[in-house]
Structure 1
């Protein structure tokens, strides 16, 4: 058996077996030659589509990936899967389809690679749900796989001020508060995003790209290059040699996705001030890879990892600027030298994390303040805190950078669904000191666990960002900042106590004791429960949301659909 035949152990089912002549005929029909039939076949899954800047360029990058595959004596075959723009669906009913798209992406990639007998998989991804969906599929299939990130967008500019997608959301809050002119409102919208690439702060896309590089499932430095940087195309071409190496060494995703590598990924999330969505996604990735992971584990990582990077949304820097300090590898090397990153984890380069970082320049704390030394962190522990109490018996996920304070107490302002909250803030009914409760936005109640970026941005734009807290059984965008707690479980639809809260109930949120409490007696809650009926979720009579509603697990289980 020659080397090429050894690398095509899956595709040879179609290309070599005498009993599959129709498959071979179809492969000749798409342009393969006889010599190609003994080469490994690599599926290249693109989430490219024209509908948003995060994904618009991905089909083009896939072509460069294919060139690299072909140059290394393999057959590259591009296929496509879906994407949903979180930025465009936030604050409207389209957001119910966002989180379900993650599992559709995973399912569809698994479906194609398994049915077509591809020997390896490369995913070209760019937005929030593309990345975890792609990696979930890799873990399930467990054939040599590499993720390619399309890159961050550059920052926009208007009247001398840097802008990004969150600037547009927060302009809405300013508008309803009469704090921005119509001209400037339109100017911010038209200039927030200059072109292709994923949302530019340490929002969910860049959080996942950075942490997945730390996980080891991308080439080193893939998270650092902006979408328009010339290094991105070179990276795509280099994927071919990397894939050939994986096939030759038979390195598979589950060799890379381990408990220690997931700890590396979550350490990066905490150190960089990343999105709370990473909690959902790593629970789902761990489930796909059969790696045990719980809220308790995530909290332990947060407790030992200081927040050291000053990125948007609560900081001042954009992802496009990380290259100037040596890229993500420089940050990883610093954390590894300090004992917070496991250097012995295998990566898709075929080398360990430590080997990848061996020649990376050290961070210079004299010439930059984007990343702080551990001795002078922005916060001595991670910003993501798992809270428990009678409002979240199975946990809630808080994003507390320290700038908001560590404790908040106030009367509840209860809103059934996001739209009710937005109407309340437009009417001036949201007041300083309140704890805004947005419920029936969970995995089932939403359905689809919508993000609450529009409400939190409206709060910020209205000048209430440091004057109110917001809790929800929905989730938050990576662009959210302020005193917020999401992922409340059990959710309202399933009878969690968040469903029983009334206007005026006193709620306390304590990030130090990790407690979230509604100060109502158990007897009173039991009495309220007697008259409680769940608010029926919309849009679930049939179709994809009906399937999701029927199969999705709770937030503390990662909202997976294959339990």
Structure 2
């Protein structure tokens, strides 16, 4: 048993202070012995009816509480800001850092010895982990799980198909009435997206890092085993407190390298890059953009899941889940890394296997040899950009084309369907001012829909470049996270219609083939970006957000702040 419980700095005090801490808790009908030496476990809950992916978390929290009580702990559930990707405007990413601050301050300010992080929808996972890392108490993650596979006309569908259906409507191959029928069959149960989008990539990320119990990533939201895992996680966090197993013990440099390799093997979201960089910054692990390229280069695609493959998260679970994938690439992993259950990765995946090699393939016969995140550099993106090769078209991986430039998302929406738009299938679509400062918040608009005139010709993919992000459910030859963004007045800000752009993914090159003298002339004429936002959190965000290649965290949040409360009260 850990000798000194942090919570006893509140509940163990004598006199007026201890009286106040205990007496007001007792108005909830809590007996005195709950405060006397039991580990107090906070259940950090991102439940919200405005976050549909997390709307079942009240029920999941009850399972966690049972586990905490079973192990002799005292569970206390508390809410933090919830970020629903599907509803929140202008983009949930704008508020990821704000939610992480909420988590950090809520954990530090309260009498907690350990925390269970309940998260599911895209930004709730990184924001909770970022905030918890800053405090560095024992913590374990319980993901909400993916929804059941969608159904339409006898076919399986998932969120990645939304992009296809949208293009079909725009080209006249599908009617709005048919799209409404699809809408009713897409989201058939509680849970987050049914494909390997950002939410599932984040669930895999925390399992690969060792922050959850084995199997956490793939259990569907409605499967009874999700509740079992939640209860076991509640039981385990009490043991972690007793062992003083903190996040900083688990989140080593080797753990981050493991997560990058696993993300490659599952065809995970490009958003993984920006979130893992931010988490590393909070826990104090040096991680660079190039690391994502370096550590995923030799990892084949093992999981055959949309958008890089064919199947869905439900299939992934039945086939063996993440442990089965990690078993296939075990030779590439630091298998001695400790995980939340106190065991090494090697121990956790010792008996793992694939029950369906169409869904989880072998390293010897992978789904695709192209995987991971390729980091591109060149005159167009001085500080880097990313592309997901497994979701791109092979014939476009080496390409030269003339730029068709949209200055912002409103410009894109106004002109993309114009039959007079000067564009053909060899063109490169460029979207500016979708970065952290310029939008603000870096929305998921990088996988721009193709011009209607080209859809009618049967074109299904083009090279697209943006300083924004794209949904983890998206696909195509899409270059994202260009840094510095247009609002920072780098080369990307200077691209004009007709400029020649050179892409060579194999050589990791992205160049703007324009004379430097011409670029200097354009830069001298360019008006410096000035944000229209002058108050509140958005102003704070714009003033302090770092660029995508550094994780888009706020500069003053880097590093840990510890669990000590600066001032006592009463």
TM range (shorter): over 0.9
TM-score normalized by structure 1?
A: 0.93
- The answer (yes or no) to whether the contact 1:167–1:188 under 8 Å persists in 2 is no
- Within 5 Å, give how 1:266-345 maps onto structure 2: 266-336=260-330, 339-345=331-337
Q: CA deviation at 1:465?
A: 6.2
Instruction: Give yes or no for the alignment of 1:59 onto 2:53.
Output: no
Q: CA deviation at 1:408?
A: 2.1
Query: C-alpha separation between the residues in 1 aligned to 2:525 and 2:458?
Result: 34
Q: Distance in 2 between matches of 1:544 and 1:404?
A: 39
Q: For the residues of structure 2 that align with 1:36 and 1:371, how far apart are their CA atoms?
A: 46
- Give me the whole-angstrom Cα distance separating, in 1, the residues matched to 2:458 and 2:428: 11
Shift, 1:188, TM fit? 1.6
Cα distance in 2 for residues equivalent to 1:520 and 1:145: 51
Counterparts of 1:86-235 in structure 2, within 5 Å, are: 86-89=85-88, 94-96=89-91, 98-235=92-229
Q: Is 144-153 or 325-334 further displaced after alignment?
A: 325-334
Decide whether aligned partners of structure 1 residues 496 and 463 sit closer, same or farther in structure 2, where only a CA change above 3 A counts.
farther
Tell me the residue number matched to 2:563. none
After TM superposition, the structure 1 = structure 2 runs for residues 502-521 of structure 1, keeping only pairs within 5 Å, are 502-521=496-515
| Maintained 8 Å contact 2:145/2:220 | yes
- Residues 441 and 472 of structure 1 are in contact (CA less than 8 Å); yes or no, is this contact kept in structure 2? yes
- 2 CA distance for matches of 1:78 and 1:415? 46
Q: Which of the residues 412, 416, 425 maps onto 2:416?
A: 425
Residue 543 of structure 2 corresponds to residue 550 of structure 1: yes
Structure 1 residues 155 and 412: alpha-carbon distance in aligned structure 2, compared to 1, 3 A threshold: same
Is the Cα–Cα contact under 8 Å of residues 391 and 476 in structure 2 kept in the other structure? no
Contact 2:51 2:85 in 1 (8 A): no
2:47 & 2:95 partners in 1: Cα distance? 14
Counterpart CA distance in 1 for 2:199 and 2:90 is 16
Q: Secondary structure at the match of 2:52?
A: coil
Counterpart for residue 439 of structure 2:
446
Q: How far has the Cα of 1:419 moved from its partner?
A: 2.8
Aligned equivalent of 2:7, options 4, 7, 11:
11
Is contact 1:172-1:461 (8 Å) kept?
A: no
CA distance in 2, matches of 1:88, 1:32: 37
SS at match of 2:522: helix
Q: CA deviation at 1:453?
A: 6.1
One of 377, 380, 384 as aligned partner of 1:388: 377
Paired residue secondary structure (1:172): helix
Q: Check 1:464–1:138 CA distance in 2 against 1; reply closer, same or farther (3 A cut).
A: farther
Contact 2:447–2:476 (8 Å) recurs in 1? no
Instruction: Note the residue ranges of structure 2 that are not aligned, 5 or more in a row.
Output: 559-570
Shift of 1:176: 2.0
Distance change in 2, residues 1:377/1:521 (3 Å): farther
Give the distance between the partners of 1:464 and 1:205, measured in 2 at CA: 31
Structure 2 counterpart of 1:489 = 483
TM-align CA RMSD: 2.0
Q: CA deviation at 1:262?
A: 0.8
SS in 2 for 1:302: coil
Listed one character per residue, the Cα deviations across residues 84-116 of structure 1 (whole Å, up to 9, x for unaligned) are: 222345xxxx133x1132212221111111111
**2:157, 2:311 → 1: CA distance?**
11
The residue number in structure 1 matching 2:567 is none
SS, match of residue 455 in structure 1: coil
**Displacement of 1:394:** 0.5
Q: In structure 2, what is the Cα distance between the partners aligned to 1:22 and 1:467?
A: 64
CA distance in 1, matches of 2:385, 2:412: 20
Using the alignment, how far apart are the partners of 2:393 and 2:425 within structure 1? Answer: 14
Q: How many residue pairs end up in the alignment? A: 548
- Cα 1:464–1:148 change in 2 (3 A) is farther
Is 1:376–2:371 an aligned residue pair?
no
SS in 1 for 2:297: helix
Q: 1:382 to 1:80 in 2, by over 3 A?
A: same
- Tell me, what secondary structure is at the counterpart of 1:206? helix
1:324: how far off? 1.9
Q: Secondary structure at the match of 1:316?
A: coil
**Does 2:70 correspond to 1:71?**
yes
The answer to whether the 8 Å contact 1:44/1:124 transfers is: yes
Alignment-derived partner of residue 561 in structure 2:
none
Of 400, 403, 407 in structure 1, the residue corresponding to residue 398 of structure 2 is 407
Cα distance per residue 1:368-399 (max 9 Å; x no partner)? 22233323334435331100001100000112
Gap runs ≥5 in structure 1: none
Q: Is the 8 A contact 2:51 2:82 kept in 1?
A: no
Quick one: distance in 1 between partners of 2:344 and 2:306? Answer: 30
CA–CA separation in structure 2 for the residues paired with 1:191 and 1:491: 38
Q: Tell me, yes or no, if the aligned pair for 1:418 and 1:455 is still in contact at 8 Å.
A: no
1:34 — aligned with what? 32
In the alignment, the residues of structure 1 paired with residue 104 and residue 519 of structure 2 have an alpha-carbon distance, to the nearest angstrom, of: 45
Residue 322 of structure 2 aligns to a residue whose secondary structure is helix
Matched residue SS, 1:113: helix
